[in-house]
Chains A and B, each alone.
Chain A
Amino acid sequence: MSKEDNKENGAQSVSRRDFLRKAGTYSAASLSGAAMLLSNPKPAQATTNVEWAEHFQKNYRLMTEEEKQEALDRLEKRYSEEFGKEVTVDGSPAMDGVLFGYALNIQKCIGCRRCAKACVAENNQSRGDEQQIEWIRVLRLEKGQFSADDRDNAGYPGDYGIQVGGNAYKPAGVVLEGQHYYEAEQVPEKDAFYMPMQCMQCEKPPCVKVCPVQTTYRDPDGIVVIDYNWCIGCRMCIGACPYWARRFNWGEPSLPAEEMNPVTHYLGNRPRMKGVAEKCTFCVQRTRKGRWTACVEVCPVGARKLGNLLDPESDVRKVLETKKVFRLRADLNTYPKFFYFMD
């Protein structure tokens, strides 16, 4: 065999990915050109050092184990440089025999919003005045009254009263719609109760159904996750979610390096980029390692419970067995795994 032949065989054995990677590494011109084309014209945090390979990676779900590991290593390296600390990007898959469920004691919640802020600290959401994202919103609702008068048919012709506690002309029960932006001096307030809402991790998630690129999907442990790299920012999922649980990065996320949480998961709290949807993942970086979510740990009244729905001994199952439980918008057949309960 001649020297020439050898060379040719060698060239053929290079895979397409290797070729692309080498092209990216060796050719400064092509790298900078690609970066100019592909990244934001305004270079910022999460997109400055994006590698060529990151743009061309597959949907996370379709990657082989090897490709996943490459993607994780790549991100670890990039984030560590960007934030000036050792960042780990975990790729733990769902645990066997675990289906996460959440229970929230609506009677105990005092509306202090610590869960929402703890979530931001844990999950690296964008913060500051320009671009603020919170995955949990706490609604303040006014306590209503049910009286015998409200239950009658006053205002209706004949016996057609169908509403319990009021009618079309006379609202009762909850007389105000929820307030997101309440600014009480002290909570809990006398006439209010509070209802925190976040991703319900539905069994039949409408957001997954509508995603045109299938970048969001439901893992076997019941957590609906997003591969941010594959997200095209069409916001179909945001429109489809009946719980207002998804958020969109309209601007470049602002995440100060000193506040960045370096323990991240690929599908969870790794720094996001502009133009992608994001949502609560039950702190996938924690729960898949056995830890409770940040909101469960921080709730000062212990209103929040997380557990394995498949384990009859778990606290969530005990709540379901012994308490009065309801789910939000059960009529939509999304089957949320987020339960509200009362003592």
Chain B
Amino acid sequence: MISYRLFGSAIGLCLLAAASTAPVFGEATQQGKECFESRDGRSQVVQREIAPGTPNVKCSPTTSGVLWWGDPFDGTIPMGDMAVEADYTHEEAVVKPREPQIDKNKLLTICAVACHNGEYVPVPENKNPRPLKMHKDIVPDSMELKHGKGAIWCLDCHHPDNRTKLVDNFNNEVSFNQPQNLCGKCHGQVLRRWREGIHGKRIGMWNKGGKKRWWVCTECHNPHDIQQGDRTSGFAQLHPEPAPNLPKTMANADHERVKHGPGH
């Protein structure tokens, strides 16, 4: 079968290609199997049992995407107050912290002490773009950052001398767990829709005042390659789940691809 998830990280930790072997649907509880919630490689979750017979997630055997949450609030933290007033405070809003996900190889911690401690890589004097020597796995060509159409660069979002944090327009530190406080500075309308619950995703209870896990911006969107390729949305392309079975009398689905031109 296809092995499409081969990727390495900066410090050389290669994750195994998750080659799906048996296309049997829903091998429900495979302890220790890694699958992804929204974006392959950036929102991973490891399967385990949270209660006897109940896995934390069920994964698709063909694409390794999460299909089912045993406990939607597993591993979440309170979202905290939002910078802009919103009527969400009456709800029990929680988020899954992004820092452990981003920092899973202790990358951020290493960044902050090894290179970006103010000694090895001096803090640049201005924010003008220049070719990067490092981090090409994240941003292949920094002169053509696929976000902001040339208007922004690394330090508009990343804190200049504390790489474990993001930074907003007023030089306030922003946690990786709360990227909406940064993204909303430019994408205000989207932030508003997100607050109302009609942009983005929440899981948990639908009713007013019910506990909800809110999904923050970077769980679904990759901020470094928003504009890329043939994509039709701000969402990375991914492998779809398999098509339903053809009816038994049907050999193929060619009839669907026939163009109904003139005379139809």
Please give the residue numbers on chain A whose beta carbons come within 8 Å of chain B beta carbons, in ascending order.
85, 103, 107-108, 110-114, 116-118, 120-122, 127-129, 132, 134, 137, 169-171, 175-190, 193, 258-259, 262, 287, 290-292, 294, 296-302, 305-308, 311, 313-315, 318-319, 322-323
Contact = CB atoms under 8 A, between A and B. Distances in A.
Q: Nearest 10 A-B pairs (CB), nearest first? A: A302-B201, A181-B253, A113-B241, A190-B230, A315-B197, A186-B237, A297-B203, A179-B256, A181-B243, A290-B205
A114 B237 contact: no
Interface in B84-101: 87
Contacts of B238: 110, 112, 186-187, 300
Given A112-B241, A186-B239, A315 B69 contact: no
A116 B198 contact: no
B215 A112 contact: no
9 contacts: A110-B232, A112-B63, A112-B241, A113-B241, A117-B241, A171-B262, A176-B259, A297-B69, A300-B38
Contacts of A189: 230, 232
Interface string B208-230: 10100001000010000000001
Given A188-B231, A292-B203, A117 B257 contact: no
Interface string B228-256: 00111101011111111110000001001
Nearest to B190: A343
Given A114-B241, A170-B262, A291-B204, A121 B196 contact: no
B179 to A, nearest CB: 15
A122 B66 CA distance: 13
Interface of B: 24-26, 28-29, 37-39, 53, 58, 60, 63, 65-69, 72, 87, 196-208, 210, 215, 220, 230-233, 235, 237-246, 253, 256-257, 259-264
Where chain A touches its partner, the secondary structure class is loop
Contacts of B220: 300-302
The CB with the most chain B CB atoms within 10 A, among A113, A122, A183, is that of A113
B241 A188 contact: no
Contacts of A305: 197-198
Contact of B207 (A184, A187, A259, A308): A308
Nearest to B24: A128
Given A114-B65, A300-B238, 8 more contacts: A112-B65, A112-B239, A128-B24, A171-B261, A171-B264, A183-B242, A188-B237, A296-B203
Contact of B235 (A171, A300, A311, A318): A300
B15 to A, nearest CB: 20
Contacts, number: 175
Given A114-B65, A128-B25, A298-B66, A183 B243 contact: yes
A292 to B, nearest CB: 5
Given A113-B241, A169-B262, A314-B208, A302 B28 contact: no
B29 A258 contact: yes
Nearest to B37: A300
A180 B197 CA distance: 30
Given A187-B238, A292-B206, A177 B256 contact: yes
A189 to B, nearest CB: 8
Contacts of A178: 256
Given A134-B244, A171-B261, A108 B25 contact: no
A183 B201 CA distance: 26
Contact of B60 (A117, A128, A296, A323): A117
B64 to A, nearest CB: 11
Given A181-B253, A299-B201, A290 B235 contact: no
A190 B242 CA distance: 19
Nearest to B54: A262
Contacts of B208: 308, 311, 313-314
The CB with the most chain B CB atoms within 10 A, among A117, A186, A190, A315, is that of A117
A66 B194 CA distance: 45
Nearest to B23: A129
A113 B240 contact: yes
Contacts of A318: 196-198
B256 A180 contact: yes
A70 B215 CA distance: 42
B243 to A, nearest CB: 4
B197 A188 contact: no
Contact of B67 (A121, A177, A287): A121
B235 A110 contact: yes
Nearest to B264: A171
A132 B244 CA distance: 8
Contacts of B207: 290, 308
Contact of A118 (B67, B198, B201, B240): B67
A306 B257 CA distance: 33
Contacts of B201: 299-302
A170 B263 CA distance: 9
